[in-house]
Structure 1
Amino acid sequence: MIAHAEETYALRRNALVRELGDRGIEAHGASGMNVGVPVRDASAVVAGARFRLSAGPVRRITAAELEPADAARLASDFADCSVSPMPPTVGDPLRQARLRARSS
């Protein structure tokens, strides 16, 4: 049962890392159910520090229930919200403007 969970998480995690990479977004995840996307401002991800062993500050995307077929859409949506390959912090004014424009 544990081996099956490891295989499932790896399949989902690797699909998301690949799709993000195809969109020019650096992402990594060597094990578990999460993918990390580096950020410029560590203050944006302080709460996630307890989930990192040695990596720098990242936005953590959980792929636990992500079907591999849905990874492309999630990666595209994430890319649409990003200003650069290293996504902006939550308080980034340009990001906020883009999000407002998308919702109108």
Structure 2
Amino acid sequence: AVVVTDRAQNPTGAAVGADRARELRAVLADHPHVLLIEDDHGHRIVDLPLHPLAGVTHSWVLVRSTAKAYGPDLRLAVLTGDAVTVDRVTGRQGLGPGWVSRLLQRAVVELWTTDAVDPLDVARSYGERRDALVRALAERGVDARGRSGMNVWVPVAEETGAVARLLHAGWAVAPGARFRMASGPAVRLTVSAMAAEEIEAVADAVADAA
């Protein structure tokens, strides 16, 4: 199986562009029996278009959750795919505790149909703060990545010390160890709760810690 995060990849914010999608589809076309799972959790919070890979393998699903745009407590996602794979997922849910409260389902439908969240405004808000933080870090000589979504990935010399120094300065960040396998140490910053007026102070603290 292949699992692809199409947009707002956690932690780097990477996104699959049109050229990359064509390259990946060409590779997958040579392996039609691979199960393709596309995670588009950034739907409605990202200002980049979706370039899906689905359709070149026999088995595929594309999943969109409500967790990022509306709140993790809703515990609801929508899924599409080929008929056999969708039927298998449905069957597995019928065998265990995979049922989602009808109240939560109706709450999500209400949020969708009443336009309770303006996805363009949300995407713009995250994008402006994320890009501003990346620029502020670059001005301080700190390399950082964050192309889409709400996270910024910052390489550091040593994770534990950087996390501790930032916490002492009043900022909580995630150590990169849980997100990486072969890449170097880093920390993940999230702009979801960061106000625009805090960005300069955060950048100063990160520059000192990194």
Alignment TM-score, normalising by the size of structure 2 = 0.33
CA 1:56/1:23 → structure 2, altered by over 3 Å: closer, same or farther?
same
Question: Helix, strand or coil for the counterpart of 2:192?
Answer: coil
- Can you give the 5+ residue segments of structure 1 that lack an aligned partner in the other structure? 50-54, 83-104
Q: CA deviation at 1:14?
A: 0.7
Deviation at 1:40, TM superposition (A): 5.0
TM-score if structure 1 supplies the norm length? Answer: 0.63
How many residue pairs get aligned? The number is 78
Superposed CA RMSD in Å reads 2.6
Per the TM alignment, residue 41 of structure 1 is displaced from its structure 2 partner at its CA by 6.4
Q: C-alpha separation between the residues in 1 aligned to 2:185 and 2:197?
A: 28
Pick from 147, 151, 160: which aligns with 1:30?
147
**Aligned with residue 178 of structure 2, among 30, 38, 47:** 47
Aligned to 2:130: 13
Structure-1 residue corresponding to 2:190: 62
Structure index of larger Rg: 2
Contact preservation (8 Å) 2:158, 2:186: no
> Where is the strand percentage greater, Structure 1 or Structure 2?
2
Residue by residue over 1:17-44, the C-alpha shift from the partner in whole angstroms, topping out at 9 and shown as x without a partner, is 01111110001100000011124569x6
Report which of the two has the higher share of helix: 1
C-alpha distance in 2 between matches for 1:56 and 1:9? 26
Higher relative contact order (CA 8 A, sep 6+): 1
Give the 3-state SS of the residue equivalent to 2:152 in structure 1: strand
